[in-house]
Chains A and B, each alone.
Chain A
Amino acid sequence: MAHIQLKNISKKFGNHTALTGLDLDIADGEFFVLLGETGAGKTTTLRMIAGLEKPSEGQVFIDGVDVADWGAAERDVALVLQQYSLYPRYTVRQNLEFPLKPKIRRLPDAEIKDRVDRAARTLRIEHLLDRKTDRLSGGEMQRVSIGRAIVRKPRVFLMDEPLSALDAKLREALRTELKNLQMQLGATFLFVTHDQIEAMSMGDKVGVLNHGRIVQTGTPYEIYNNPRDTYVASFVGSPPMNLIDGKLVNGRAVMAPLNFELPFAGGAKTSGGAKTGAATDGRPLVFGIRPEDVYLETGAPVEARVHDVENHGVEKILTLRVGDAMLRATVPARTDVQIEQPVRFAWNPDKVVLFDKGSGISLRHAG
């Protein structure tokens, strides 16, 4: 098990810059999720830790040791990929044995058999051991891939979107399994995904990556409730946080181009909880509010029309139309609304996150 540290990592591929000034600290035994869109640099980060790619600048430390000169074989990490990580000509057993047989750390045969059997039991793939890998389903393949990683007891598990190619049901099941496995092994996991639900549900810590930069690192709770900027706010959460342009005037949030107002007596809070008060008055801001903090209420301050209703079983997600703006609100499933029906809504002012209009940075973080 290991503690991974990346210091000021940059990576260029020709003229293309994949990563800039990346700092990352993954504690021993932590389930760290790197979240970002396709092309944000997640896989590059992973490959640099694995030793498959060299950083253009900066250092990678595993347990405090700079591993710049270590090849992939010496780093003793395990890599699980989205696909193609199983050898097509081998059976499941041969695939599981493969990581135990390299010259540099070849294990005795009895030990190999023992470890393969144990991994197969853990992942419930014992009945597949003699099957060729091209005769496995997607979920079985991914189990075997994970098996290939756990037979070795590596210092760190690197997972590159291991669940993305699976269908929804299976993804959910494996998500839980993977999280349990990590807790059971007490291992350090670095899990890369573009799926914010995976990130929120599995990670002890989440790092949000955007265009090769770490935008925010924190617990899923922090990321969700206290996004550092509008990018994180709109990327995390489904549906994402509502972001509305406006400014503060005398304890009211005035949505400038849209012409509606909401009460906002509190003023913006800094991370310390102190109020920024009048300092923010009149300044162009972006108001961020999660859909679940938008209420429908008779007598609420703003009128809107229901633009769309998505029924999700336990709840409904309404799209409200105010002027030209669309606003999402999560309401209990029993709420009876029709499309084009006029409704009135309010928000929970305590939950509002203020972002600077220019930089997009949350005032809580900036202050």
Chain B
Amino acid sequence: MAAVRTSSEIGFNRVAIVAVLLVTIIFLAPIYWIASTAFKPRNLATTIPPTVVFQPEISPFVKLFTKRSQLRNPASPEEYAAAPWWERVVFDGGEKIVRDGKGQVQWSGYPSRFMNSLIVAITSTVLAVGMGTFTAYGFSRFRVKGEADLLFFILSTRMLPPVVVAIPMFLMYRAVGLNDSHLGLIILYTAFNLSFSVWLMKGFMDEIPKEYEEAALVDGYTRMEAFFKIVLPEAATGIAATAVFCFITAWNEYAFALIMTSRRAQTAPPFIPSQIGSGLPDWTVIAAGTFLFLLPVAIFTFLLRNHLLRGMSFGAIRK
């Protein structure tokens, strides 16, 4: 490659950099907003104009994880001195942490909701990607009768907004006792992601030369062994990309979670806004909950970033 660049190329590069920066700022601004609010003192959360420079606080997170009640009188100096640091920040906000008879700190609903989110999202992702991979392999490698129709049928499940079927689903779920259960949500999200997973994985499977497996078959391996030894490692990129998309969908799902769950199996998305409550909402706590909620997806995506980048450009680089 020649190192010489024309001035118009440099000019174009500058414009491109500015455009990328602008888009990045637009995308990251809400995330910055949530992240900064999560560390703000309560009285600075809703100031106009927004407070940009402040002393970060951990109190929103303490409040997020605990049950609290209003203090009628400010905490006495003795109480204050006896309390651990994380309780003092609650006192500062005019509240105290609720304890049971044995003095055990009472947790808020957030940790269990967060756990529910993890269980439901991970399980449904594993199921959707697993089944999708097998299905896609079948469609890709074997002559399936009515393949085009079947694939269209699978895709058609995504053709109307899922909320349309929410009421009938709710009634059916209630009839079979699946509402407010992990299993119910897992089935729902798996079904919802499966069509996407099949289509995406079919694209990836089609890209893997079938000669690899055929060589293995001729070498004395069964179809199953060839699949696990040869196809699966080759499909890793596709599986990672599909898993990220399925995980994000399941993790962020709000409408069904709101309708189908109430306590036991409620996930974080419907729980967080429910904390706005009836009185003055504590936006810092809600921001803290949202901020933590963003982390798993960020971590998951970060871990798979190499696969993802390859996955995104997979179809683009053809032989």
- Which residues of A are at the interface with B, using a C-beta cutoff of 8 A? 50-52, 71-73, 75-79, 81, 83-85, 87-89, 98-99, 102-105, 148, 152
Contacts and interface: CB of A to CB of B under 8 A. Distances in A.
Contacts of B234: 88-89
Contacts of B211: 81, 83-85
Given A50-B218, A85-B212, A88-B234, 6 more contacts: A51-B218, A52-B217, A75-B218, A98-B216, A102-B221, A103-B222
Most buried by A among B215, B216, B225, B233: B215
B212 to A, nearest CB: 6
A102 B230 contact: no
Given A87-B230, A99-B219, A52 B225 contact: no
A107 to B, nearest CB: 11
A79 B230 contact: no
A64 B298 CA distance: 63
B168 interface: no
B217 A84 contact: no
A52 B214 contact: yes
A72 B222 CA distance: 9
B161 interface: no
Contact of A98 (B209, B219, B222, B233): B219
A85 B215 contact: yes
A93 to B, nearest CB: 15
B233 A78 contact: no
Interface of B: 209, 211-212, 214-222, 225, 230, 233-234
Given A87-B230, A89-B233, A102 B209 contact: no
B236 to A, nearest CB: 9
B218 A73 contact: yes
Most buried by A among B212, B219, B225: B219
A79 B213 CA distance: 12
Nearest to A74: B220
Most buried by B among A52, A72, A79, A83: A72
Contacts of A71: 217
Given A88-B234, A89-B233, A103-B225, A81 B215 contact: yes
Contacts of B230: 87
B143 to A, nearest CB: 9
B212 A84 contact: yes
Contact of A73 (B212, B222, B233): B222
A166 to B, nearest CB: 17
A72 B225 contact: no
Contacts of A51: 217-218
A102 B212 CA distance: 15
B201 to A, nearest CB: 19
A100 to B, nearest CB: 9
A73 B222 CA distance: 7
A248 to B, nearest CB: 52
A245 B91 CA distance: 109
